[in-house]
């Protein structure tokens, strides 16, 4: 019996494509964000409010993933930025190959910012690198403050947690401090913004985070080591 060392990632094929995508994004100075949450947490609403706020000439595009329907793409196309729907037909996450395929006819030199709205799922999307610069996890206040402890992987891997639907706080028992504490237990130092896409409350903080990421991406002086 011989033991042969393999020592490589199980998803090495996905990771290979993701690394190629990341290199292409860097070459063209495109900031790519992978937005993940459970279904119905408000990923599309956050993107609607974001696209509504950004100037029309901004070089922004969205890939939005779902198992079925073009509903989200139709909602986001109203803002006249390039939007493409990825329907997975049953797969519970997006993988790097789907991104590569759907970007094939989009010239990256025309973009500065690419949002990828993942399939609603707090588990599987965390295993698949899409070549993004950062993952953003959205948690709505109706889901309970213990979600970061129940689904640690995605909170561990995300740079930012967006606490959404804060307009519902008077009606639901949700402890914001406990949610933040739980997220930072899993991911010490995690950045958090609190937003309501309905009232617009907190959107300024989200847009500020986004702009900071965009400018850091353009001049990556501080990003070294």
When asked if residue 154 is in the footprint of other proteins (CB under 8 A), the reply is yes
When asked if residue 188 is in the footprint of other proteins (CB under 8 A), the reply is yes
Number of neighbours of residue 41 by Cβ within 10 angstroms: 25
Residue 11 is given by DSSP the state T
First to last CA, the chain: 44
When asked if residue 7 is in the footprint of other proteins (CB under 8 A), the reply is yes
Dihedral pair phi/psi, residue 140, rounded to 5°: -90, 155
When asked if residue 123 is in the footprint of other proteins (CB under 8 A), the reply is yes
How many Cα neighbours within 13 Å face the side chain of 194? 11
Residue choice 25, 81, 115, 151 for contact with other proteins (CB under 8 A) = 151
In the bound complex, what is the minimum distance in angstroms from residue 112's beta carbon to other proteins? Answer: 30
Residue choice 50, 64, 118, 126 for contact with other proteins (CB under 8 A) = 126
Per DSSP, the three-state class of 52 is helix
When asked if residue 3 is in the footprint of other proteins (CB under 8 A), the reply is yes
Q: Which helix (H) or strand (E) holds 189?
A: none
Using CB under 8 A, which of the segments 10-18, 34-42, 79-87, 212-220 binds other proteins? 10-18
Contacts (Cβ under 8 Å, ≥6 apart) of 103:
21, 63
Using CB under 8 A, which of the segments 37-45, 50-58, 85-93, 107-115 binds other proteins? 85-93
Q: Which is nearer to other proteins, 46 or 186 (CB)?
A: 186
Bridge partners, 156 (sequence order) = none
Q: Which residues bind other proteins (CB under 8 A)?
A: 1-14, 91-93, 123-124, 126-128, 149, 151-154, 156-157, 185-186, 188
């Amino acid at each position: 019996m011989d033991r042969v060392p393999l020592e490589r990632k199980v998803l090495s094929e996905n990771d290979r494509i993701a690394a190629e995508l990341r290199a292409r994004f860097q070459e063209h100075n495109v900031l790519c964000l992978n937005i993940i949450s459970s279904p119905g947490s408000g990923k599309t609403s956050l993107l609607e409010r974001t696209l509504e706020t950004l100037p029309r000439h901004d070089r922004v595009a969205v890939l939005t993933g779902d198992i079925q329907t073009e509903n989200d793409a139709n909602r986001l196309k109203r803002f006249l930025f390039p939007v493409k729907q990825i329907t997975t037909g049953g797969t519970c996450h997006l993988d790097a190959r789907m991104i590569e395929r759907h970007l094939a006819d989009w010239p990256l030199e025309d973009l500065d910012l690419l949002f990828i709205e993942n399939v609603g799922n707090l588990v599987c999307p965390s295993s698949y690198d899409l070549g993004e610069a950062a993952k953003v996890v959205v948690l709505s206040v109706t889901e309970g403050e213990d979600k970061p402890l129940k689904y640690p992987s995605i909170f561990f891997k995300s740079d930012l947690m967006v606490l959404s639907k804060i307009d519902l706080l008077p009606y639901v028992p949700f402890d914001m401090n406990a949610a933040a504490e739980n997220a930072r237990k899993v991911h010490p130092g995690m950045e958090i913004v609190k937003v309501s896409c309905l009232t617009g409350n907190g959107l300024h903080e989200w847009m500020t985070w986004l702009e900071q990421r965009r400018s850091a991406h353009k001049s990556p002086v501080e990003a070294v080591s």
